Copies of this chain bind each other. A is one copy, B any other.
Amino acid sequence: MRADARRNRERILDAAEEVFAHHGTSASTEEVARLAGVAIGTVFRHFPTKDDLLAAILKRLLARLAEDAATLGGADGLHVFFRRLVAQSAAKRTVVDLAGVSVPAAVGGLDEAVGELLRQAQAAGTVRGDVRRPEVMALLVCVCQGALQGGWDVELQERTLAVIFAGLAA
């Protein structure tokens, strides 16, 4: 792959993330090209369809989340991860809008990373033992969606998470 091609690919991904974060996935590919500073054809050379582009940024986002999760741990690592995710979702439409794009959630090891956080929290006694990974993942998804849609303020976010944390601990 030529140097300029690699550079443009990155620019396009960055631009796409920015544009879709603000305007949702319904934003046009042309807007992405404009922000990336390339012609529309270049975008389609790298990503033959819009869905390919969406899948690419989703993959990057999930990988980043998994990486982020991997740096956490201990008694309240899971709680911290919940809060970070909610904060991100409220600001960016992207992840949430991507329901339609089919990228297995397992990509990037997010499932595993969250599983590890759960295990550590349980070991520390912060979360009770009979809670399993699937419902934790489900709650993460729920909360992201809700935070984005509801336009939560900080207080509502805290109160809502408090209920969930209590439910995990009880």
Interface residues of A (CB under 8 A from B): 99, 131-132, 134-135, 138-139, 141-143, 145-146, 149-150, 152, 156, 159-160, 162-170
Contact = CB atoms under 8 A, between A and B. Distances in A.
Contact of A142 (B135, B145, B159): B145
Given A166-B170, A167-B164, A159 B146 contact: no
* Interface majority SS (helix, strand, loop, mixed), chain A: helix
Report, nearest first, the 6 A-B pairs whose CB atoms are least far apart: A167-B167, A142-B146, A145-B145, A142-B142, A163-B167, A166-B167
Contacts of A141: 145-146, 149-150
Contacts of A146: 138-139, 141-142, 145-146
B160 A135 contact: yes
B167 A138 contact: no
Contacts of A169: 170
Contacts of A138: 146, 150, 152, 156, 159-160
